[in-house]
Structure 1
Amino acid sequence: MRFAKLIFIIQILFLAITNAQVIDGGSRHAIVICNGCGVWATGGNEAGQLGDSSQTKSLYPIKVLFSDAISVVAAYEHTMALKNDRTVWAWGDNGAGQLGVSTTNRSLIPIQVSGISDIKKISAFGWHSMALGNDGIVWVWGRNDQGELGNGTTTRSNIPITVSQLSDIVDIAAASGHSMALQNDGTVWAWGYNFHGQVGDGTTTDRHTPVKVSTLSNITAICVAVYHSMAIAKDSTVWSWGRNNNGTLGDGSQTDRSTPVQTSGLKDIIALAAGVYHSLALRDDGTVWAWGYNGSGQVGDTEIMNVLLPLQVFGLNNIVEIAAGNSHSMALQDDGTVWTWGQNDYGQYGDSTVISSNIPKKMQLLCNVEYPNTPEAEFSYSNGCRGDSTVFKFVSEVGLDSLTWYFGDPVTGDNDTSYLKQPSHYYENSMNYSVTLSINKGCYQDKITKSIFIDSIPKVSLGQDSFLCESATIVLDAGNSVTNFLWSTGDTTQEINVMYGNYHVVVNNECGSSADTIDITNRCDSIDVPNVFTPNGDLVHDEFKIKLSGYIGKEILIFNRWGQLVFKTSDPASIYWNGTTKNSGMNLIEGVYFYVLNYKDRDENLLHATGIVSLIR
């Protein structure tokens, strides 16, 4: 929470609310603590500020990977929590070192802030963070462009450092570019960005070390936003200073103030909250009052754009806590319900929509409800075909507050997510996808991930037409990605063993069917090469003659044992050798000779064959 509530805390204890919640609003997200039920967050998550290990926004509360939190604050794109052991944890954006872990690497899950313990209060709004120890010492870390760390420099710090000038501090408040602290004597100290007078020292000069806020005393609680500051006095009146062009100070004017002025018409105030350009106050009667810029409906049900004086937010009663994000507002009712209004473009309401409202809407989270029938995240799907509508269904009949589907198909952008009970999704590729269903009912959440296969119309290819010789056989394969097969032979198996002939197959699955045909002709292609011949004139085996069936001879070369070429012919009509040099010369001696045959098949492919032949006279 970004505001102090000394009186307010006493009020909560008096009300004795069981399962009480703590709430806070960030730039585009909101966060809630449910006692006994953990930390929950909703809205923008581009830097991991929801703390669920992802960067996917959520339109309803999802559970943060964290437990035992007693306080939370939601800043611009990072979040902090105070644990019951008084350690501080943070997650989300860390570009300025605002997580306090010595690096500037963002974290998608909570990690412990370095070097601080025994903390009683935390605060953050923009890009720096603050913590208050039980010893009254203030710790700061993160961005320091305007001196918001209060150490006399403009150098950022990735780890917590103390504001050495301060002691005996009882409350802190961090804005976007300035910081405030409340001392135990009721005085207020401020430092950092001061262009609009938000430091409150009567000037518009940035302050790199703490200065006392002018004219304030007997203060019990403080609150800051981006450009203005507020405080509650002991008499429960409200005082404001800083930027006022939208009426954020609530004094009836639009004039910036560099020293505190009283916010008009407020009394019995026990808590404050502030967004960028609007302010909230909680009265001890449980009513909420708002003023300032109302462009997103964050002030409430009025058509006035700049509300210069506090107006009661109608529809709210028995409120025990308030909070504000950049342009949205939050309120916690004494029954544990959370109400939101204003900007909702990232799902800050947690109502599964991105529809903004100037009327408070109930967040889908009730920490104090127990459910006799616990739902289970289980689903079925049908028509898993590429390029068609795959339909998913949550199978339980138990009612839910919300559910979210992630179809495992990020290339489809926003269409990769659905919040319907029975959604459909178009997959463009045939492959395995991981589909996740998350369900939410009050504090209960369950999730299941299944791997589904998206099929496609089967493709079948029996290959090119071929040939077989006489009784030879060949195996035809219709592929293994289909469910059913039907051959022209009547077979229903993936493979069949066949002789020459014409064959047709149809394959099909739940996505469709396809077919193919192959023609296998009867053809006996062969090469017959003798291994001996006797050129002695008896007309029996007088020639070394190669018989080609289905092939075309190109040339034959004969070599003796010393590798010398003794015969060559390239006449397709006379692929033979009679044992002489070039078929017309001297008889060659008996012995073993080597041959090389070059020939072509019916498709004009050039082939080669080699071997030996014995010449005997």
Structure 2
Amino acid sequence: MSKKVVSIAAGEAHTLALTGDGSVFSWGRGTFGRLGTGNDTDELSPVRVSFARSDGKGEAKFVGVAAGAYHSLALQDDGSVWSWGYNIYGQLGHGEENSSVPKVIEQFKELGATNSLSREQNAGGQTTFLKVSSIKAGGMMSLAIDNLGALWIWGNSPQPGSTDEEVFSLVSSSSPLPVWDFHGHTVVKVACGNEHVVAAVSVGENFSGADLMCYAWGNNNHGQLGLGDKEARARPQSISTFGEDSPWAIYEISCGAFHTAILTHKKSYDQEIESRCWTFGLGENGQLGHGNTMSTSLPEPVNGLPRETILISLDCGLFHTLVLSASGDVWSWGMEKGLGLCPGAGLAGDDAGDALFPVKLHCSEAPGGLFPLPVQVACGAAHTVLVAGDGDKLWAWGRGRSGVLGRGHTADSFVPAPLMWPSSEAGLKKEVQNQRNYEIKPSIHRSGSSSESATDRKLSDAMEELSLLREKHALMERYATVLHVSIFRKSLDQRNLPQSLYDSEVFDIKRELENVMEAADTEELARLQMFYEGMLAAVKDKLLKRRIKEFVKEHILSLSLGRQP
């Protein structure tokens, strides 16, 4: 797993990737030092970012990455936050100068100090020191969530006015500031656009299952806050569509420059499992996926997506949106066919123009055109990067200038193309060529001896059988993933599979279920409970309907035979 990609993030024209061994890679445009390589040079393929630790304790290990328009963030496993790139608004969290090398944000480093005032006592009287647990960036601002669920924000971020607490203004701050409005609650997820922020926050003090509320604040000139108007908000305000009484539970959020996208699933399992994508804000390039170029200030579902599809991930670019399904489908919509490209970038005829409805993307290197187990997608201003195949395969498409697609050149790509990952560049090329060879079945044998013809026929039969096995394997993977996502509401991770599957041919489902429950956190147990209660209710309902149907059938039969019921 060490060289597999576990997380990606995209800025305006650069991309970051985090691998399983805690390394960070970057590529694309180098202006302002956003790649962290020590200079402003573009990188046409992924390069590893070096981090100079001051304590001399060897290589730093990282667990998260985030990208703003022209700056980058990385979260170390000890809670330290590093930043580099453009810094005119203080989005790096230190000083005002741009930085072409990663620097640690001292304020967060101090949170974990033994003499820090930023600590709390739990119910047992034990002291908990604060440290950052997740990071996010967008536009010219940066955000972080600490291990107690508090949200921090810095850079060019929405804040109350200096004279009026209700008047919105953008304030530049190089020091991370806590968002006190959520004190007593847990911030679970956060996303930000150019000038607005959307957060998923627990209803109570702690998060347990599907009890999230959605809050938004900042600029609202296109309705990107989802509050039903276009008035800016200085402080977080609840989006009523996803309120406590809503039938929809939030599990993913993303922001484009001036639009917002949210993934939800039905809170009740009484009916079939259903996930849905909602969008709102600026729509002039079709980035809302509603079939028109109108903006909307209230969340509306994207009806062009199949209702039976389980959506697992999404991201918004500047003016385009993408979603991934558990079965390997990828949909895109928005500017220039959902690629994010500006008009006239190279598409012509029927291929040109913005995508007003979701467009299903095709993977030419995979059987059936489905991406192998998509993991995550990241959208830049005019490019998109997809991690699939359990983290060992990457695809990129869109604008290629400055090497932002990571393919060793600057050409645009209008279809998903394999990215040159440094750990297995040669192997990737070979695998792509092999996949293409499998799709070419020889129809004319070479002239020569009968033994050569027999060998060709055997090779052709073997290729055909291998192709069928690959398709069957891909189908079983998608089936297992759909079942896992249906129950746990998160993608299947090979690292979490029971060890007994590797060690023995016998799989004790009862014992493994007990192990799963023992290792599960409160959120996972709540999801299991919801799933099984819903399934049990559905089974009881189905049995009752069948009994009623049989009773009516017997009653009608008795009447037709002249018997008294």
Query: How does the TM-score come out when normalised to structure 2?
Result: 0.59
1:66-95 superposed Cα distances (whole Å, 9 cap, x missing partner): 341211112111001111112211100100
Contact 2:215 2:237 in 1 (8 A): yes
Contact 2:376 2:386 in 1 (8 A): yes
Amino acid at match of 1:317: F
Deviation at 1:352?
1.6
Contact 1:297 1:356 in 2 (8 A): no
Deviation at 1:21?
3.1
**1:114 matched residue in structure 2:** 106
**2:514 matched residue in structure 1:** none
Q: Distance in 2 between matches of 1:222 and 1:54?
A: 33
Query: Which of these two proteins has the greater Rg computed from alpha carbons?
Result: 1
* 1:286 aligned onto 2:341: no
Q: Distance in 1 between matches of 2:62 and 2:170?
A: 32
User: Against the structure 1 CA distance between its residues 135 and 44, is the aligned structure 2 distance closer, same or farther, given a 3 Å change threshold?
Assistant: same
**2:410 matched residue in structure 1:** 354
User: Against the structure 1 CA distance between its residues 243 and 113, is the aligned structure 2 distance closer, same or farther, given a 3 Å change threshold?
Assistant: same
Deviation at 1:144?
3.2
Deviation at 1:298?
4.2
Q: Distance in 1 between matches of 2:425 and 2:405?
A: 19
Deviation at 1:213?
1.6
Q: Distance in 2 between matches of 1:252 and 1:187?
A: 28
User: Against the structure 1 CA distance between its residues 370 and 352, is the aligned structure 2 distance closer, same or farther, given a 3 Å change threshold?
Assistant: closer
Contact 2:2 2:20 in 1 (8 A): no
User: Against the structure 1 CA distance between its residues 99 and 179, is the aligned structure 2 distance closer, same or farther, given a 3 Å change threshold?
Assistant: same
Deviation at 1:125?
1.4
Deviation at 1:20?
3.7
Larger helix fraction of residues: 2
1:353-372 superposed Cα distances (whole Å, 9 cap, x missing partner): 1111111122111546899x
* 1:328 aligned onto 2:370: no
Root-mean-square deviation (CA, aligned residues, Å) is 2.6
Q: Distance in 1 between matches of 2:317 and 2:134?
A: 20
User: Against the structure 1 CA distance between its residues 297 and 241, is the aligned structure 2 distance closer, same or farther, given a 3 Å change threshold?
Assistant: closer
Amino acid at match of 2:188: V
Amino acid at match of 1:54: N
Amino acid at match of 2:139: G
Deviation at 1:35?
2.1
Amino acid at match of 1:205: E
**2:499 matched residue in structure 1:** none
User: Against the structure 1 CA distance between its residues 32 and 20, is the aligned structure 2 distance closer, same or farther, given a 3 Å change threshold?
Assistant: closer
1:250-273 superposed Cα distances (whole Å, 9 cap, x missing partner): 111211010100011333111110
**Equivalent residues in 2 for 1:474-489 (5 A)?**
none
Selected match of 1:194 from 208, 217, 220: 220
**2:187 matched residue in structure 1:** 169
* 1:179 aligned onto 2:197: yes
Amino acid at match of 1:260: P
Q: Distance in 2 between matches of 1:171 and 1:127?
A: 19
* 1:213 aligned onto 2:244: no
Q: Distance in 2 between matches of 1:323 and 1:74?
A: 10
Q: Distance in 2 between matches of 1:131 and 1:25?
A: 17
**Equivalent residues in 2 for 1:129-168 (5 A)?**
129-144=142-157, 153-166=169-182, 167-168=185-186
Amino acid at match of 1:89: W
**Equivalent residues in 2 for 1:393-542 (5 A)?**
none
Of 220-229 and 63-72, more deviation after overlay is shown by 63-72
Deviation at 1:37?
6.7
User: Against the structure 1 CA distance between its residues 249 and 42, is the aligned structure 2 distance closer, same or farther, given a 3 Å change threshold?
Assistant: same
Contact 2:88 2:96 in 1 (8 A): yes
Deviation at 1:296?
8.4
Amino acid at match of 1:219: I
User: Secondary structure of the equivalent of 1:115?
Assistant: helix
Deviation at 1:205?
1.3
Amino acid at match of 1:33: L
User: Against the structure 1 CA distance between its residues 148 and 346, is the aligned structure 2 distance closer, same or farther, given a 3 Å change threshold?
Assistant: farther
Selected match of 1:223 from 254, 257, 261: 254
Q: Distance in 2 between matches of 1:147 and 1:309?
A: 37
User: Against the structure 1 CA distance between its residues 148 and 272, is the aligned structure 2 distance closer, same or farther, given a 3 Å change threshold?
Assistant: farther
* 1:85 aligned onto 2:78: yes
Deviation at 1:159?
0.6
Query: How does the TM-score come out when normalised to structure 1?
Result: 0.54
1:478-498 superposed Cα distances (whole Å, 9 cap, x missing partner): xxxxxxxxxxxxxxxxxxxxx
**1:62 matched residue in structure 2:** 47
**1:317 matched residue in structure 2:** 371
Amino acid at match of 2:100: L
Deviation at 1:120?
1.9
**2:23 matched residue in structure 1:** 38
Q: Distance in 2 between matches of 1:155 and 1:142?
A: 7
Q: Distance in 2 between matches of 1:370 and 1:327?
A: 27
Contact 2:318 2:340 in 1 (8 A): no
Amino acid at match of 1:220: Y
Q: Distance in 1 between matches of 2:240 and 2:161?
A: 19
Q: Distance in 1 between matches of 2:339 and 2:299?
A: 26
Larger strand fraction of residues: 1
Amino acid at match of 1:193: N
Q: Distance in 2 between matches of 1:17 and 1:51?
A: 21
Q: Distance in 1 between matches of 2:175 and 2:2?
A: 37
Deviation at 1:227?
0.6
Aligned length: 355
1:160-186 superposed Cα distances (whole Å, 9 cap, x missing partner): 001110231110112111111101232
* 1:256 aligned onto 2:266: no
